[in-house]
Amino acid sequence: MSENTTGKTDRVKGKNVHGQVVVLTRSKPEQLGLFQTFLPEEEEKYSNTIELYDAVPKYFSHSRGMAALRESGKYLPILERAFEHRGEGYKVQIHPARIRYKDKREKEFYPSQREELVEEALRKIACDHLNGVYLNDQAGVQFTLYELRQELVARGHAINVPDLIESLKVGNLATISVQKADGTGVMQASIFPLLLIVSREEWLKQPKQARCYVQFNPLVTASIDRLTYRQFDYLTYMSYKHRLSRWLHKRLSHNYTQAGLLHPYTIRMSTILRDSGVPQKERGNDNAREIEKTLKELHGKRVLMAFDKEILLGLRHKIIDIKYTLRPDLDFVSETKKANARAIRLSKALPERAVLLSL
Average the pLDDT over each of 19-23, 66-70, 149-153, 228-232 and give the range with the smallest value. Answer: 19-23
pLDDT at 205: 80
Put simply, whether the predicted model's pTM sits higher than 0.85 gets the answer yes
Q: What is the DSSP letter of 278?
A: P
pLDDT confidence band for 8 (50 / 70 / 90)? very low
Average the pLDDT over each of 171-175, 204-208, 262-266, 310-314 and give the range with the smallest value. Answer: 204-208
CA distance 70 to 236: 34
pLDDT at 43: 80
Write out the residue limits of the CATH 1.10.10.10 domain(s) in the chain.
Answer: 240-332
CA distance 186 to 179: 5
Residue 139 burial (C-beta neighbours within 10 Å; 0-12, 13-18, 19+): buried
Counting Cα atoms < 13 Å in the Cβ hemisphere of 26 gives 22
pLDDT at 9: 52
What's the average model confidence in pLDDT over 259-264?
A: 95
Asked if 237 contacts 49 with a C-beta cutoff of 8 angstroms, the reply is: no
* Amino acid in position 254: H
Nearest to 339 by CA among 46, 42, 31, 30: 46
Q: Percent of the chain having pLDDT more than 90?
A: 77
pLDDT at 20: 82
pLDDT at 356: 47
Could you report the per-residue pLDDT of 213-256, keeping only the tens digit for each? 999 999 999 999 999 999 999 999 999 999 999 999 999 999 99
User: Out of 3.40.50.12280, 1.10.10.60, 1.10.10.10, 1.10.1840.10, which CATH number does the structure's domain 240-332 have?
Assistant: 1.10.10.10
pLDDT at 6: 43
What's the average model confidence in pLDDT over 279-297?
A: 89
pLDDT at 165: 95
What's the average model confidence in pLDDT over 60-70?
A: 90
